[in-house]
Amino acid sequence: MLSENQIKALSYNLDESRVKTIDKAGMSFKYIETYDSINVANTIFSYMWDYTITRLEEVNREINQNSNHVITFSAIVKVKIYDNQRNCIEREDTGVGIGTARSIGEAIDNASKSAVSDSLKRALRSMGAQFGNNLYSKTPTTSKNQQQNYQQPTQLQQPQQYSQQNQQQTQPFHNPNDFSSLYSIGLTIMEQGQNLVIIGDDIFSKKDSIKACGFRWSGENKMWYKPIEQQQAA
């Protein structure tokens, strides 16, 4: 359905000048801004695309130590790319947005917009490098003063993949069977530094199962986490 020129354009390497960097918790994360993704989509697909917000909901609300409202929204966005015969390719993904403000209305506005932007960029990234897909596959780099102490994320093995031979060779911090309920609903547990973190699709609809395994939500880092020390003591 895509033309030869469109496929060629999507295959080009990402121009590094389009990549932005943000520092969180001692780590540097690379990303592409939303307006940039939209402009590239307009150029490659000749404006013959659109997107629909299929879900947008508030998933958390709290007051921080500065008495600001902190609102978290989750969104699902579906992207449709058309050809001249109105055939279309569909892409869909989830995103999370957090808004912090003195007024609850402003916090909601910021969180909902951020969630939609995150979802849109994640949906477009499946089209290739021009939408920053390669950025998602790279382990976040650390700031210089954290470089020696940072442990790269390691995916925990699921119970069915965890053989007796592996147990004899290495003794992990934790027993993968503890999280069988999370593996069964399509989630993955990773080691990141001193924490276990959860990744997967539509994680907020599964928050009850996640909380039952002792994980907590970090609004700052946008992830569910559990200290490894806590897991060892369990």
**Number of folded domains that form the chain:** 2
Question: Residue range 176-195: average pLDDT?
Answer: 70
More confident residue, 179 or 45: 45
In a domain, 167, yes or no: yes
Looking at residue 57, its pLDDT comes to 95
**Span of 29-38, 48-57, 109-118, 198-207 with lowest mean pLDDT:** 198-207
Is residue 122 located within the same domain as residue 177?
Answer: no
- pLDDT band at 152, cuts 50/70/90? very low
Is residue 20 located within the same domain as residue 109?
Answer: yes
Mean pLDDT of the chain: 77
In a domain, 143, yes or no: no
Q: Is the pLDDT of residue 216 over 70?
A: yes
Looking at residue 33, its pLDDT comes to 92
Looking at residue 144, its pLDDT comes to 41
- Coil, helix or strand for 166? helix
**Span of 2-11, 48-57, 169-178 with lowest mean pLDDT:** 169-178
In a domain, 117, yes or no: yes
Is residue 114 located within the same domain as residue 214?
Answer: no
| pLDDT tens digits, one per residue of 61-113 | 999 999 999 999 999 999 999 988 888 999 999 999 999 999 999 999 999 99
In a domain, 145, yes or no: no
Is residue 177 located within the same domain as residue 105?
Answer: no
Looking at residue 143, its pLDDT comes to 41
Q: How many helices (H) and strands (E) are present in the chain, helices listed first?
A: 8, 11
Task: List the Cα angle 198/122/97 in 5-degree steps.
Answer: 65
For residues 93 and 119, the answer to whether their CB atoms sit within 8 Å is yes
Structural domain boundaries enclosing 60: 4-138
Is residue 126 located within the same domain as residue 164?
Answer: no
Is residue 182 located within the same domain as residue 214?
Answer: yes
- Coil, helix or strand for 23? strand
- Write down which residue in 80, 112, 138 finishes a domain: 138
- Tell me the pTM: 0.60
The DSSP element (H or E) to which 180 belongs, if any, is: helix 180-183
Share of the chain above pLDDT 70, in %: 74
Q: How far apart are CA 17 and CA 15, in angstroms?
A: 5
